[in-house]
Structure 1
Amino acid sequence: MKEADVVAQWGIKDIKEFENKVAKGPEEPKGLISAKSYREKIVIPFLAGLNRIFKRIVKMAKSCFAESIELKKKLEQMDADRKTLIRDNDELKWSKEYLEQELDEKNERIYELEESEFMLGFFRRFVKDEDYEKIVEMGKEERENNKFIR
């Protein structure tokens, strides 16, 4: 905001100077002076001074207008970037929720498999090794058969 105030103050001095010169008008002639001399010595320098001040004001206005257009373009780009970031953030939130749900499901499955492994430990202790191997082979064959059926 301070920057904006400083920029706003730039032209005020020139505008006040212009207003004062216009309000005062050209100097009164001192003594007897011809119209031509009055014009050359007083009116033309007065008008040249007004013209100089006016040009500075116009230059400043053009500069402010150009900066305004540039800032508007930057604002539009920032707004587009902001919208893109919001969309990306929403997608990441959804992805995070999905991955958390998938992780919970996999943790549940791991727990179930650990329970099954624990129970199979009892089974393995009480069954002979060759019987256990036969049961495993039968299970593999059944799984293969189910794959072909599907």
Structure 2
Amino acid sequence: MTKFLLSVHVLAVIVAIGPVCVATSMFPPAARRVIEAPDDVRAAGTLQLLHRICKVYAVVGVVVLASGFATASNMRMLGSAWLNTSIALTALAALVLVALVLPRQSALVEGGTGGATRQATVQLGMFTGVFNLLWAAVTVLMIVRPGSTTGA
């Protein structure tokens, strides 16, 4: 059962977290293109698509959380410091996405970027970078796992 749960967890990470990290990173430059050329329908469509990807995969990311807790529980590892740190970083990444990234993306998409400034996209890029760095830290913790018995 542990191998199944771990497989579901890893697949969910690849399918859900990877696309949202890429889409969030692509959004600020795409928003700048829309600001520079507000009549470019293709650029506006790209912006809407990237935002939709971020929203949908943020919801799909719940599978990562559920399968991670199920795996850790099955492995009796819920008390491990490295795992608790990973959980805290994951919660922080989710908070950054929900509170700082998605609302700013929505404002740029819904506002048509008419009143948006380059500074707004730079700030969004900063929050996106923090989001991605948090996921990178979680990934490193999941691979290194202090106290691991894998011999790696």
- Normalising by structure 1, report the TM-score: 0.33
More helix by share: 1
**Which one has a bigger Cα radius of gyration?**
1
